[in-house]
Structure 1
Amino acid sequence: MPVNEVKPTRSELLEVKRKIKLTKSGYKILKMKRDGLILEFFKILEQAKQIREKVTKDHAAAMDRIAVAQSVDGAIAVKSAAFAHRAHPEISLRSKNVMGLVVPEIETNSIKSTVDQRGYGVIGTSTYIDEATTAFENLVETLVQAAEVETTMKKLLDEIEKTKRRVNALEYKVIPELQEAEGFIELRLEEMERENIFRLKRIKDKAEAKGEISS
């Protein structure tokens, strides 16, 4: 609220005081929200670190298993087994609330399958193909978990930045401007009060002077 737009009246002073009170209350709430979001972010950050390590580990294991399967059974047999796979993973997306922020919650079904669900014959394939299949199923499951954690972390980061900007705007712009307006109105009211007292005093002095002349 720029000072040049403020009317130096008592009603305006009351309105500015009310706005200052509400703004400070909102500022405290936003600070609490920002701090809560930061705490949640560091929790998720730790989960993200763990899940990234697991993705790297599971990916390496899957690549090792597929390499062994290809070397033993041959690339054509591995591809044939892959195309024969009948199970289809199912993913359901829900949402949950974290400090007022809606983040995704991903649930998976049918990622891991039994040998008879995989479609390829047990006879004619080695256990190395089974091991490779299991390793890749583990990798897919981990990747789904990573997607949930990474998305949540990104949403938290975005919300933290938005909340920080709002907190800073209130702290360094809105509240100081309101307080400046409050000070300006109080100063002008005091000046007007002094001017009024001075004017009344002059009127009184003139009236007394006239009374003395008349007498």
Structure 2
Amino acid sequence: MSKLRLRTTPTKSSLLRLKRQLRFLHNGHALLERKRELLTRLVYERLGEFKQRRAAAQESLKQAYYWLSLAQLRMGGRSMHQASLGISPAVEISILPRRALGIQYPAVQAQLLPLQPVGLLGIDPSFDEARKCFAEATQKLAILAEAEMALCRLISEQRKAQKRVNALKYNIIPAYDQAIRRIKDLLEEEERATLFAIKRLNEHGKSL
């Protein structure tokens, strides 16, 4: 990151203006630091939630594929294909916008629907069990997707806040501190020169 250098005229009004701006920057830095800490805490909380939901979805998928393989073994691929034709959806998914801490992400709602009976002979109970398990797995995957999207948005916002905090702390605020010191030094030097000139004038006046 390139160092910022402020260019301003060395006057008392400039000094007062820079001091006011510096106080504002310190307040902004404190607010951003609190936001960054809050986002970091939320990231860790969401990460734990995401891992739990991922484990639940993986276990649900494992069960679903177990019953699917059992149904295929008992019924055969052709019978399963015929039985699956015209089956009504078992999950209703809706996506709504949600906002937290100014961060918008999609909220996924997945509602299980009653399983409609299959009106064919030779349907093994494992087929209905596979349908039920896949519906539950789909619901868990939808919930997992929401957790993952929310986590990604939080991580992105946390990184932005971290960059802003670093920019203020290591670049912008030090530049203001440096500019204030430089103006103070120049004003003090100018004041000393003025006092010295006044002293010389007084001494010259006394000698006349």
Scaled by the length of structure 2, the TM-score of the pair is 0.93
Equivalent residue number for residue 213 of structure 1: none
Provide the C-alpha distance between the structure 2 equivalents of 1:192 and 1:154, rounded to a whole number of angstroms.
55
Q: Tell me the CA shift for residue 121 of structure 1.
A: 1.1
Paired letter, 1:26 = G
- Aligned to 1:18, the other structure's residue is in SS state helix
Paired letter, 2:152 = K
Indicate which of 138, 142, 145 corresponds to 2:143: 145
Structure 1: unaligned runs, 5 residues or longer:
211-215
Deviations 1:163-198 (A, max 9, x none): 100000000000011011111111111111100000
Indicate which of 160, 163, 179 corresponds to 1:162: 160
8 A Cα contact 2:91 2:139, kept in partner: no
Check 1:41–1:108 CA distance in 2 against 1; reply closer, same or farther (3 A cut): same
- For these two proteins, the number of residue pairs brought into alignment is 205
Using the aligned pairs only, state the percent identity: 28
Equivalent residue number for residue 186 of structure 2: 188
Q: Tell me the CA shift for residue 84 of structure 1.
A: 2.1
Indicate which of 56, 67, 73 corresponds to 1:71: 73
Indicate which of 47, 57, 69 corresponds to 1:45: 47
Scaled by the length of structure 1, the TM-score of the pair is 0.90
Q: Tell me the CA shift for residue 88 of structure 1.
A: 6.4
Aligned runs of 1:1-215 on 2, under 5 Å? 2-3=5-6, 5-87=7-89, 89-109=91-111, 111-116=112-117, 120-121=118-119, 123-210=121-208
8 A Cα contact 2:110 2:143, kept in partner: no
Provide the C-alpha distance between the structure 2 equivalents of 1:29 and 1:97, rounded to a whole number of angstroms.
20
- Which structure would you say has the larger Rg? 1
Provide the C-alpha distance between the structure 2 equivalents of 1:193 and 1:6, rounded to a whole number of angstroms.
19
Provide the C-alpha distance between the structure 2 equivalents of 1:123 and 1:171, rounded to a whole number of angstroms.
73
What do you get for the CA RMSD once the two structures are aligned? 1.5
